[in-house]
Amino acid sequence: MKTEFKRRDFIATCMKAGVTCCALSFGTNLAGTGPATKQDAKPDPKSLEYCGYKCPADCPLKKGTLENNVELKKKAYADFKFKEKYGIEFDPGKVFCYGCKIKDKPLSMTVKACTVRKCVIDKGYDCCIQCEGLAKCDKELWTTFPKFRENVIELQKKYKA
């Protein structure tokens, strides 16, 4: 049991980049800007991930996890550069993601390590677009991916309108 807990911590740490890369690899597919929604629709924080992203159904990491598809997990491992960023060898048991708002599945190491997720939960929000401090927030996700941050700030403007 203790070994499993340490394994999950390790997975959470290594998956941080995977979730971030997944979110950013799909660019502006945020709620309200994707093809399936109206551009002017007010975003619903409950339907977004904690960072304001809406994970696409075709994300290789999430799809590989849900389908237990090792080939998709290998693709995500390579695309999200796990080896380069974390120095870990591919292990299908460590490369997974169910999203960051799941209740009945294990959290990936990247989700557990996400400072934006922790902040949103600590403040009692459903999503960071509800936070008045978003424009000045200096969490790692925003400093590493400023374009993504700009997109989320635009989403927040729609939410406040």
What is the rounded radius of gyration, in angstroms, for the C-alpha atoms of the chain? Answer: 16
Give the pLDDT confidence of 104-158 residue by residue, as tens digits.
999 987 788 889 999 999 999 999 999 999 999 999 889 888 999 999 999 999 9
pLDDT in tens, 72-93: 999 988 887 778 776 779 999 9
Nearest CA-CA partner of 120 in 32, 52, 47: 52
Please tell me the pTM assigned to this model.
Answer: 0.69
H helices within the chain, ranges in order? 2-25, 60-67, 70-79, 82-86, 109-113, 115-123, 140-144, 146-160
Quickly tell me which residue has 């002017």 as its tokens.
Answer: 40
Residue 118 in contact with residue 18, Cβ under 8 Å? no
Return all residues near 89 (Cβ < 8 A) that are at least 6 apart: 83
A 10 A CB-CB count for 7 gives 15
Structural domains counted in the chain: 1
Does the structure show a pLDDT above 80 at 53?
A: yes
According to the model, what pLDDT value does residue 137 have?
96
Range of the domain at 82: 2-160
Determine the average pLDDT of the residues in 27-47. Answer: 61
Which tops the pLDDT comparison, 3 or 154? 154
